[in-house]
A and B are shown apart, each in its own frame.
Chain A
């Protein structure tokens, strides 16, 4: 093939077509020619491939100091707005000019120190701002916190994204409070660092510092905590990740980089088992779902830690137990609730063989967690952590009031149950149903609820398996019902509630719901103390 083309050839049209520069009609013309002319087809392909070869050229990148060096050169530009040097590139030959300058300096009798300084200032121009100004000292002390922050807008974006904790420690100083004393050596280094920054960056820093200090005190404190948290995080990052963030040209892109790096580091920090699990998942959707699940788990853990951390300090300082643990009566009720509702006696030492046997309603892990938190509260004062654990367990294993008379139904031979009746409810699976398969045996209200569920489809329904109208509860609950709850119900609430009388477990469940709505605790069926206080003090995540 002859690559040299006739100047009258179709090449300009063909190339314009390849560049997407032709209109619809002209494009169709070229396409039809390509369709019938194999040589033109080859040529089109070759033009494309030739252009692709240009991708082999290495792309020059600016040196890391490019911006600084460019901005430093603004000074002579500013000083001589009318005299524009023609080729003032860094590599130019400056010696003749230097000589002229030196001669001129000698001629005017300003040789020596002043002449030297002047010459230096020309060849190595030092912007005015490099002369240290005492007014910059507060800013300079804060310099380490301003790394990777250009303006207040970026800080606002960071806060909005809630990626950095701004709650901080109580000891974090606010801007106008004295920070840690900076040694003279450290101060000098910071001053040098500040003066080495480009003029543009120094202006940026001054503006950021000023805007930050003009904020109202509480807001300023919060921003400063975000700053500190962000700076500490940046400091811990691997170099390449830090560069990725610092290189972002705008606030929005920097935030994107922060979120990207956080996500990447989080993924990399996943335990090997989770990394392996992630690799085995083929579809993107499933992988995303899995990651979201793990992220939620971690957020929950973080919230929990935050709760503990926030409340640990005053708790330890005052050596006081948190509510409700400092209240002797409530504390006693709580122990009773734990014993009855979870089937656990925390005063007894752990026993692996019998610990989770009935009447215990907790799993082995849950029980271990409860014991650990209880112990940490007693020995170390982690009452909030213990409270949060109790609230979680109470919600995982909701309780229902026990009957006032007789024992709650927890076995197959308690009236109205009989072994035969229970067997009749169980799936046959070809042989005689084995009652021992009922995992809830011995546990109130789980067993009764399981039987009730099995009975749902039977022809001869069992009578209620628990108390479900006034007069059937224990004395304390009866008193609560008449004295506390019923007087607070509206007519419609009362009507709905009464309508469920005789129905188990609907009636006691509604009793509990109504009590929660009225911020009351149902004796024996709910954590003692106001539900609102439990919620405010111990709920992890959204309240």
Chain B
């Protein structure tokens, strides 16, 4: 990246300007960065790991990593893309660590959200239609379970796409994939979500679109 390109990017992205101040050891700028991104970061982490406290810890760690690596920072993309790349790495590492720990100590009661999940079947019993009066909290729990059933990369891709409104190429940059890879990842993730959440799709009372061949499913 040439100095000129870097300057142009900084001019366009106020967060890059802020980060360049952080790079120059301006702690106030770092504070401003934390203020600006904490809500998005904690939100995203929360959706990925499914646990508020853990999400906050991870978000905090993302910021600390930003600060530690500040002197190496060179604007190459949007600041948020760089930030979410760090977040993605941390989140995936955290999930994998947790899984490893859970595998090692199978006998130990796991106190994390994984262990505290209700022992309901992962795939809803489609013979019992969900009640229309299902409370929002219950629905949130169902959706949470469906999201947790995705593998971690699918989950990150869905969360970035849905909650950060990132397009495929941005997600690809954050996750170190190709755009085609993201397309495939999201396709599989959404098919899985559709399957898991099918009984709840029309619970708002809306009629599904006309389908002459309803029993046949896919074309």
Contact = CB atoms under 8 A, between A and B. Distances in A.
Interface residues of B, number: 69
B57 A53 contact: no
A200 B32 contact: yes
Given A51-B193, A53-B197, A59-B163, 9 more contacts: A1-B214, A15-B183, A16-B183, A19-B161, A38-B212, A41-B210, A60-B45, A66-B38, A200-B31
Interface of B: 27-28, 30-32, 34-36, 38-39, 42-43, 45-47, 52-61, 63-64, 67-68, 94, 97, 136, 139-140, 143-144, 147, 158, 161-163, 167-168, 183-184, 186-187, 190-191, 193-195, 197-198, 200-202, 208-219
Contacts of B94: 87
Contacts of B215: 1
Interface stretch (A69-77, A100-108, A352-360, A499-507): A69-77
Contacts of B162: 51, 54
A12 B35 CA distance: 37
23 contacts: A2-B218, A3-B194, A9-B219, A10-B219, A19-B167, A19-B186, A21-B183, A39-B216, A39-B219, A42-B214, A46-B194, A51-B193, A56-B136, A57-B47, A57-B143, A66-B34, A73-B60, A90-B56, A198-B31, A199-B31, A200-B27, A200-B30, A249-B36
Q: Which of A1, A38, A53 has the most CB of B within 10 A?
A: A53
A61 B41 CA distance: 9
B187 A12 contact: yes
B128 to A, nearest CB: 17
A40 B191 CA distance: 13
A122 B162 CA distance: 40
Given A15-B190, A62-B42, A90 B57 contact: yes
Q: Which secondary structure dominates where chain B touches chain A? A: helix
Contacts of B163: 54, 59
A93 interface: no
Interface in A161-182: none
Contacts of A1: 211, 214-217
A62 B38 contact: yes
Given A50-B201, A57-B47, A69 B60 contact: yes
B30 A21 contact: no
A43 interface: yes
Contact of A9 (B56, B197, B218): B218
Contacts of B212: 38
A2 B126 CA distance: 12
